[in-house]
Amino acid sequence: MRTSAVLFRNELLKATKRPATIVTLGLFAFLLCMIAGSSYYQALLHPERGGFILPAAWPGLLDDPGVPSAFFAAILLILLVDSEFSWRTARQNVIDGLSKAQWFGGKLVLFALVCLGCVGLHLLVTGSVAASGSFHIAGGIRTLVRGSDLRMMGADLLMVAGLGSVAMLAAFAARSSGPAMALFFFYVALGERMLALVLSRMGGAVASAVAFLPMKLFTSLPEPARWDPAAFQKAVAAAAKHGHPPPDFSDTTLLVWVGIAEIVVLLTAAFLVYRRRDL
Amino acid sequence: MNVIETAALTKRYGAQLAVDGISFTVERGQVFGFLGPNGSGKTTTIGMLLGIITPTAGRIRLFGMTGRKGLHQGRRRTGATLENPNFYPYLSGSDNLRVVANVKGASRRSIDEVLQLVRLADRKRDRYQTYSLGMKQRLALAATMLGDPELIVLDEPANGLDPEGMKEIREIIADLAAAGKTIFLSSHLLLEVERTCSHVAIIRRGRIIRQASVREITTGTTVAELRGAAPAAIASALEAYPESVSVQVDGDTALVELRDDDLAALNRYLSGRGVYLSHLTARQRSLEEVFMQLTGDEEAPALEGAA
């Protein structure tokens, strides 16, 4: 069996049989049901607003639980990676014949599985509720998904992967789930804001780097107005109403590429941190 | 052929020298005991052999191969467990072995075979966290056997086991040795090592202080056991005996380590000095005695099972 297949099979076995995975994904699914159910209920109460009919409902369905879905993925990654250090199975896997690089490769497989799993669950649960709403309110679905929705789904995946890679770095740096979660939430809640403040006070080109800090970049990517023409029109109208200039999303392509590069850098840093230390 | 060969292997943690330039060889088919007091560098040395600790200096060869790729290939021909058994607590014994078997390229059938061998077949579907310590140790042994490795490295495989569990582990190790496997065994249980191993190396403060066959180590010198009416007078006379290496008094018995094995000459010498014996016999030194002598009184190992 090829190494990649071995890593995939082992990571899938370990992740799917882990109670923490089932509990975390169960809680996430429950949260998604609550959010999508609430939108469904609002649509039933106010049918004149329309909205909860596919495909028009997608931007809202993707935007509302977007950041929580990234946090669920991050928590799950930290739990799954760091337990390998606390149970010393990271060490045993290497003793059993994986090289350290191959073991890390297994964690990259896990990273992909968790990110795709969280986004997939998000789409499945909210999409199912919205499909049911579409049949109930509009009597059917003409188009399931538009091109702009697919692009926004991609941006959602990039956000989950981006914050997931921050979590991976925290997990490999701390090697223990408690400290790793503290490190992750400190960065996303406070650390990056402090860093942004320092950078913006420096002015010039350095200040413009604030937009590329991971939390800011990844959470701004799935904004509906970036991808959905109707949402963009609403954003322009809202800006005009308040006398603000219209929003400018011309940097979207740049943000996507910088985001991908940041994921690569964060995962490489996680690998270097892991490789440097003995097991 | 040397299965393991180290040259000037060194590991330093900051100012602390954990392993100090050790060199040893393990030949194919040997059951090699690696002994040392707590903190002497045993586990660090094994960790370097297994690739989970990076040496500060020195060289390792496994099956004659060296370098990152060579050692990785060598390690794939090795089954090992280090310190405590390390498994996923929420997975069953069988699923834990599936993870190992996937890595080693072993078949599903071999999982059942090794589970039979360590007598865990009837508990294979139970979660690892429900296993007793003895069962965990046996599962670790089963994992090392997957993929039919040529070299088996076991670090304290009988740790925390009751006499029955130790006996089971000893029998399994004996079976593996009989099957022609090379076994590298680190243990505190000197009697177990003496019964099981063909060769030993003794490590103290990061240095190998003796490496030889068990027979060579335990029969290198003759120890005579003497008793008489005046033990103090016996000890005093023995101190002056030209062939005496060391003298110990234990209650009413004096033990003398001799350069030769001529007990008749010893008896003549003592009687010539008016010291008469009621008991004189030669005795083979146990590995425990050699170990204690070589490592001094520093942190003597646990001697359960030695009685």
Does B64 share its domain with B133?
yes
Does B144 share its domain with B200?
yes
**What's the start-to-end Cα distance of chain B, in Å?**
36
Does B230 share its domain with B110?
no
Q: What is the DSSP letter of B132?
A: -
Q: Is residue B59 part of a domain?
A: yes
Q: Is residue B307 part of a domain?
A: no
Residue A215 pLDDT greater than 60, yes or no: yes
Q: What is the pLDDT of residue B305?
A: 35
A23 vs B contacts (CB less than 8 Å): none
- The residue-averaged pLDDT of B159-187 equals 84
User: From the candidates B91, B92, B99, which should be mutated to test the interface with A, based on the most A CB atoms within 10 A?
Assistant: B99
Q: Does B76 lie at the interface with A, CB-CB under 8 angstroms? A: yes
Pick from B218, B211, B292: nearest CA to B248: B292
Does B242 share its domain with B172?
no
Residue B297 — pLDDT band, cuts 50, 70, 90? low
Does B124 share its domain with B253?
no
In total, chain A counts a number of residues equal to 279
Higher pLDDT, B257 or A270: A270
Rounded CA separation B93/B95 (Å): 6
Does B189 share its domain with B226?
no
Is the Cβ pair A93, B103 closer than 8 Å?
A: yes
Q: What is the pLDDT of residue B92?
A: 97
Is the Cβ pair B88, A14 closer than 8 Å?
A: yes
Does B17 share its domain with B118?
yes
Q: Searching chain A, which residue's CA lies closest to the CA of residue B99? A: A10
Identity of the residue in B72, B99, B104 whose CB atom sits nearest the CB atom of A13: B99
Q: Is residue B302 part of a domain?
A: no
Q: What is the pLDDT of residue B299?
A: 47
Q: What is the pLDDT of residue B279?
A: 93
Contact by Cβ (8 Å): A83, A19: no
Pick from B40, B54, B56, B46: nearest CA to B4: B46
User: From the candidates A96, A102, A276, which should be mutated to test the interface with B, based on the most B CB atoms within 10 A?
Assistant: A96
Does B165 share its domain with B72?
yes
Q: Does B71 lie at the interface with A, CB-CB under 8 angstroms? A: no
Rounded CA separation A131/A124 (Å): 10
- The residue-averaged pLDDT of A77-103 equals 94
Instruction: Please tell me the least confidently modeled range out of A107-111, A168-172, B72-76.
Output: B72-76
Residue B165 — pLDDT band, cuts 50, 70, 90? confident
Q: Highest mean pLDDT: which of A199-203, B248-252, B267-271?
A: B267-271
Give me chain B's average pLDDT, please.
87
Q: What is the pLDDT of residue B303?
A: 39
Rounded CA separation B240/B224 (Å): 15
Is the Cβ pair A278, B47 closer than 8 Å?
A: yes
Name the minimum distance, in Å, from the CA of A176 to any CA of chain B: 16
Residue B101 — pLDDT band, cuts 50, 70, 90? very high
Residue B1 — pLDDT band, cuts 50, 70, 90? confident
- Tally of domains within chain A: 1
Higher pLDDT, A276 or A265: A265
Higher pLDDT, A202 or A14: A14
Q: Percent of chain B at pLDDT above 70?
A: 95
Q: Is residue B213 part of a domain?
A: yes
Residue A88 pLDDT greater than 90, yes or no: yes
Higher pLDDT, A63 or A167: A167
Residue B304 pLDDT greater than 50, yes or no: no
Residue B301 pLDDT greater than 70, yes or no: no
Does B247 share its domain with B171?
no
Identity of the residue in A17, A18, A96 whose CB atom sits nearest the CB atom of B103: A96
Degrees (nearest 5) of the Cα angle A159, A161, A162? 60
Task: Name the token pair of B149.
Answer: 């490795």
Rounded CA separation B115/B145 (Å): 10
Instruction: Please tell me the least confidently modeled range out of A217-221, B86-90, B174-178, B216-220.
Output: B216-220
Q: What is the pLDDT of residue A64?
A: 76
Q: Does B4 lie at the interface with A, CB-CB under 8 angstroms? A: no
Higher pLDDT, B69 or B217: B69
Q: What is the pLDDT of residue B307?
A: 29
Q: Percent of chain A at pLDDT above 70?
A: 99
Does B208 share its domain with B224?
no
Is the Cβ pair A94, B51 closer than 8 Å?
A: yes
Name the minimum distance, in Å, from the CA of B125 to any CA of chain A: 13
Does B21 share its domain with B94?
yes
Is the Cβ pair A6, B103 closer than 8 Å?
A: yes
Burial class (CB in 10 A: 0-12, 13-18, 19+), A5: exposed
Is the Cβ pair B91, A14 closer than 8 Å?
A: yes
Q: What is the pLDDT of residue B220?
A: 64
Identity of the residue in B72, B79, B82 whose CB atom sits nearest the CB atom of A99: B72
Name the minimum distance, in Å, from the CA of B301 to any CA of chain A: 25
Is the Cβ pair A97, B75 closer than 8 Å?
A: yes
CA distances from B275 to B226, B231, B266 (A): 11, 10, 11
Residue B25, domain extent = 2-217
Residue B226 pLDDT greater than 60, yes or no: yes
Residue B249 pLDDT greater than 60, yes or no: yes
Q: What is the pLDDT of residue B221?
A: 67
Interface of B with A in 48-67 (CB under 8 A): 50-54
Identity of the residue in A9, A17, A278 whose CB atom sits nearest the CB atom of B52: A278
Q: What is the pLDDT of residue A50?
A: 65
Q: Is residue B292 part of a domain?
A: no
Residue B34 — pLDDT band, cuts 50, 70, 90? very high
- Tally of domains within chain B: 2
Residue A250 pLDDT greater than 60, yes or no: yes
Q: What is the pLDDT of residue A208?
A: 86
Q: Is residue B129 part of a domain?
A: yes
- The residue-averaged pLDDT of B68-87 equals 90
Name the minimum distance, in Å, from the CA of A87 to any CA of chain B: 6
User: From the candidates B86, B108, B129, which should be mutated to test the interface with A, based on the most A CB atoms within 10 A?
Assistant: B86
Q: What is the pLDDT of residue A124?
A: 93
Q: Is residue B25 part of a domain?
A: yes
Q: What is the pLDDT of residue A190?
A: 94
The answer for residues whose C-beta is within 8 angstroms of residue A23's C-beta and 6 or more apart is none
Burial class (CB in 10 A: 0-12, 13-18, 19+), B162: middle
Higher pLDDT, A83 or A38: A83
B87 vs A contacts (CB less than 8 Å): 87, 89, 92
- The residue-averaged pLDDT of B201-205 equals 90
CATH number at residue B51: 3.40.50.300
Q: Searching chain A, which residue's CA lies closest to the CA of residue B87? A: A89
Residue A31, domain extent = 3-276
Q: Is residue B211 part of a domain?
A: yes
Instruction: Please tell me the least confidently modeled range out of A70-79, A101-110, B155-164, B266-275.
Output: B155-164
The answer for residues whose C-beta is within 8 angstroms of residue B6's C-beta and 6 or more apart is B22, B23, B24, B25, B45, B49, B58, B59, B60, B61
Does B22 share its domain with B69?
yes
